[in-house]
Amino acid sequence: MRLISLLVCSLLVSSTLPALAADEKVDLALVNKIRDEGTNRSKIMETLSVLTDEIGPRLTGSPSLKKAGDWSKAQLSEWGLQNAQVVSIAPFGRSWVLEKAAMRMVAPSNLELVAIPKAWTPGTDGVKRGKVVYVKLENDEDLAKWKGKLKGTIILRDAMTPTKLHTTADAKRYTDQELHDLEHMELGGAPARPPTDMAELAKRMAFAKKINPYLTEEGVIATVNVSRGDDGTIFVAGGGSYKQGEPIGPSALVMSTEQYNRVFRLIEKKKDVEVEVEVAVNFGDEDPANSINVFAEIPGSDKKDEIVMLGGHLDSWHAGTGATDNAAGVAVAMEAVRLLKAINFKPRRTIRIALWGGEEQGLLGSRDFINKNVAARPESTDPKEKDLPSFMRRPTGPLMLKPLHGKISAYYNLDNGGGKIRGIYAENNAAAKAIFDTWLAPFHDLGAKTATLRKTGSTDHVSFDAVGVPGFQFIQEPMDYFTRTHHSNMDLFDKIQKGDMMQAAMVMANFVAHTANRDELIPRKPMPPEPARPAAR
């Protein structure tokens, strides 16, 4: 009997969803205009070229991010958007710009080494030469073991990483079966990842904070980590600290895997290895103008007080030019609003584009916007979490709603590389999924056809979803995002496919326009639960 009831419920649900979709209006005349403008008069690669080739890497807190923000504001205004503004998310921290990095092995033989410094680590104050040693620093016992033995050295922080033969292509597109599997959810399986042990994480981070002062005190010239990539690809992010007053240690670099392995093997053979290194950086003080968000609007009409938002993050890491992460998403969002202005679209709700800063440091830009305008909770004061970044601390207290909470219909984000849109993550919002299925229909021929109830993370839509405002990330082709370009020196304009970007901009413009002109806001999920109160003592 129980099985029969479950089957009946399942049939009722499946029969209801098409009805919901059938009731949703699709403006095919609007779709035709978007497709015509986006196909025949696209400007998306020009936008991408300015952000990557001309402006280059856009590290949060750097003058380049300010330059990108000023240019984006001006360009959006030129296209006819209103209320364009650059808004500081300070306090953030220190500015950092890489000016020069060179490293070469000088003994037992000569070899030019490919290595890139980590952000927010210092320069070497000229060319320095030192013996290379492999040093494990994983606990207090290791610190005691090496004390007094590292002056004037260049230390390898990792064991050798054997490379594997490439038998498949770096880049791939989703197969129909993969999209089918993505669309269908299975309940009751093992969680994707075990819950974080916050106490253990805090313990590890507290030990990590000992490393930089220790290395400086010991007189280490530089540290070197091995890249997780191969074939000359170097994946590198931050080190040191962007917080004023925190220790930054010596220069810290990441080296290409194959060269790192060669140096490591020589050390294993007890060969004396010497390396020359020179790193020059511009390490500045906090400048509120360098840590920013950018906003601009297409004003609405009868529902102008309600808002539809779209965007991506403007900041990037420094090894490449931040093309797939995330100039691509920014260019798509900018192109989407350009398309709507070019076809003279008249939205009922106000459309607001948001280009976020600080995403790479923990969604700082979108969190700043949410906390100031949408909703906020007090941050945890648990002493076990005091050493964790603020974005990793558990929320406490009630959610305090602010004026925009009930006014934002939805936020649409793009931040998973340079691939075309294949659909959208509906974030377990069944009513939204039914609507999205309908809106995707005119783009099935371009490969966008999958709306899944699955959730995804690590992009700025999370800041909205966390406070009960519909926030969505599009499903993008994986391409070579995680295998080659994500946070690497290969994150360059050449890794972007023009046709994919044109398609993505049209799909995003379609979603934004239809959201703007619906009679109702996008349906909302139940509000996030209030955090559990600590037990009385």
User: With contact defined as beta carbons under 8 Å apart, do 88 and 289 qualify?
Assistant: yes
d(CA 445, CA 182): 19
Give the pLDDT score at 473: 98
What pTM was estimated for this model as a whole?
Answer: 0.92
Q: Which helix (DSSP H) or strand (DSSP E) does residue 64 occupy?
A: helix 63-78
% pLDDT > 90, the chain: 82
User: With contact defined as beta carbons under 8 Å apart, do 355 and 312 qualify?
Assistant: yes
Average of pLDDT values for 93-108?
Answer: 97
Confidence at 157, pLDDT banded by 50, 70, 90? very high
Confidence at 379, pLDDT banded by 50, 70, 90? confident
Both tokens assigned to 292? 């920013």
Helix (H, G, I), strand (E, B) or coil at 238: strand
d(CA 369, CA 146): 46
Average of pLDDT values for 450-478?
Answer: 97
**pLDDT over threshold 50, residue 47:** yes
Mean per-residue pLDDT over the chain, rounded: 91
Comparing 97-101, 189-193, 270-274, 293-297, which segment has the lowest mean pLDDT? Answer: 189-193
Count of alpha carbons within 13 Å of 205, Cβ hemisphere only?
14
Q: b/e for 185-197, b at 16 or more Cβ within 10 A? A: eeeeeeeeeeeee
Q: b/e for 449-488, b at 16 or more Cβ within 10 A? A: bbbbeebbeebbbbbbbbbbbbbbbbbbbbbbbebbbbbb
% pLDDT > 70, the chain: 90
- Return the closest-CA partner of residue 475 out of 28, 186, 173: 173
Backbone CA torsion sign across 300, 305, 311, 317: positive
Interval 516-525: pLDDT, tens = 999 999 999 9
Q: Which helix (DSSP H) or strand (DSSP E) does residue 499 occupy?
A: helix 498-517
User: With contact defined as beta carbons under 8 Å apart, do 154 and 107 qualify?
Assistant: no
d(CA 418, CA 324): 5
Confidence at 387, pLDDT banded by 50, 70, 90? low
- Return the closest-CA partner of residue 408 out of 475, 322, 341, 310: 310
